[in-house]
A = this chain, B = another copy of it.
Amino acid sequence: MSANLIIDSITRHVQLSADEQAHFLSLLKSKTYRRKQFILQDGQVCKYSTFVTAGCLRGFTVDQNGFEHVLNFAPVGWWIADMYSLLTQKPGILNIESLEDTEVLLLSKHDQEKLYHEIPKFERFFRIITENSLVSFQQRLIDNLSLTAEERYHNFCRRYPTLIYTLPKKQIASYIGVTPEFYSRMQHKMLLKDKK
C-alpha cells in the first residue's frame, strides 16, 4: 500500500520513529489522475511536491515552435515538481501530465518547509534526493553534449529498463532529444545491426 512505499523510500536514507512517520503521513493528500490529465500547466505556480504511488507522470516544456521537450519521467516511487516554480513561487514553465492512470501523494510547499524545521531528518532526506537529481541532470547534460542519439538511447535503456517497454516511443524520443521520425529510423538501423 502506498504509505509503505513512500515511507520505505525515505527510510532508505534517514531513520524515522513511528511518530515521525505518522506525522509525515498526516501531511499528505492523495489524489488520482486519469491518463493524459494535467497535474500542472506552464504559467501556474507549483504548490506541491508530488510523489507517484501508481502509474507514471512526465514533466515537459513547450518551445516557441510548439515542440515538446521531456525534462523527466516520474514512475512509481519518484518525486516530481516544477522545481523553479516551487522554490520561487513564481509561474513556472513546466507541464506535468499523466501518461497512464496515476495515483500520487501531495506534500504542500508550506508543510514541507515546516517539516524541515520540526524534523531536520526530512531536510536531510530532501537534500540527498536533490543532490542525486542534480548529479543525474549533470550527467544527462554531458551526454547531450558528447554522445550521439544512438548512445543516448542505450543509456536510457540501461537507466530505465522498465520504461522502455511501457512508454510511447515519441516520449522516449523527446527525452533523448530527437524527433519521432529520426527515432524510428534509428531503431530500424539498430535492428539491422543486431541481426548480423
Q: List the interface of chain A (C-beta within 8 A of B).
A: 61, 63-64, 67, 69, 71, 83-84, 87, 93, 116, 120, 123-124, 126-127, 130-135, 137-142, 144-147, 177
Q: Nearest 10 A-B pairs (CB), nearest first? A: A63-B146, A127-B127, A69-B145, A137-B137, A120-B120, A134-B134, A84-B135, A130-B130, A145-B177, A83-B135
Contact A134 B69 (CB under 8 A): no
5 A-B pairs (CB sep. < 8 Å): A87-B131, A93-B142, A116-B124, A120-B123, A123-B127
A87 pairs with B138, CB closer than 8 A? no
Decide: A138 and B177 in contact? CB cutoff 8 A.
no
Residue of B nearest to A116 (CB): B124
Residues of chain B lying within 8 A (CB to CB) of residue A84: 135, 138-139
Bound CA span A71–B61, Å: 22
Q: Which residues of B contact A141 (CB under 8 A)?
A: 71, 137, 140-141, 144
Copy count, this protein chain? 2
One of B67, B130, B138 near A131 (C-beta < 8 A) = B130
Which residue of B has the minimal Cβ distance to A126? B127
Given contacts A84-B135, A134-B137, 19 further A-B contacts (CB under 8 A): A61-B142, A63-B146, A69-B145, A69-B146, A71-B138, A83-B134, A84-B138, A87-B131, A87-B135, A93-B142, A116-B124, A120-B120, A123-B123, A123-B127, A127-B127, A130-B131, A134-B134, A137-B137, A141-B144
Task: Give bound CA distance, A116 to B128, whole Å.
Answer: 12
CA–CA, A145 and B141, complex, Å: 10
CA distance A140 to B135 in the complex (A): 14
Could you tell me if A130 and B123 are in contact, using CB atoms closer than 8 angstroms?
A: no
For A61, the closest partner residue in chain B by CB is B142
Q: State A102–B177 Cα separation when bound (angstroms).
A: 37
Q: Looking at the assembled complex, report how far the CB atom of A50 sits from the nearest CB atom of chain B, in whole angstroms.
A: 16
Q: Which of A123, A124, A126, A142 neighbours the largest number of chain B CB atoms within 10 Å of its CB?
A: A142
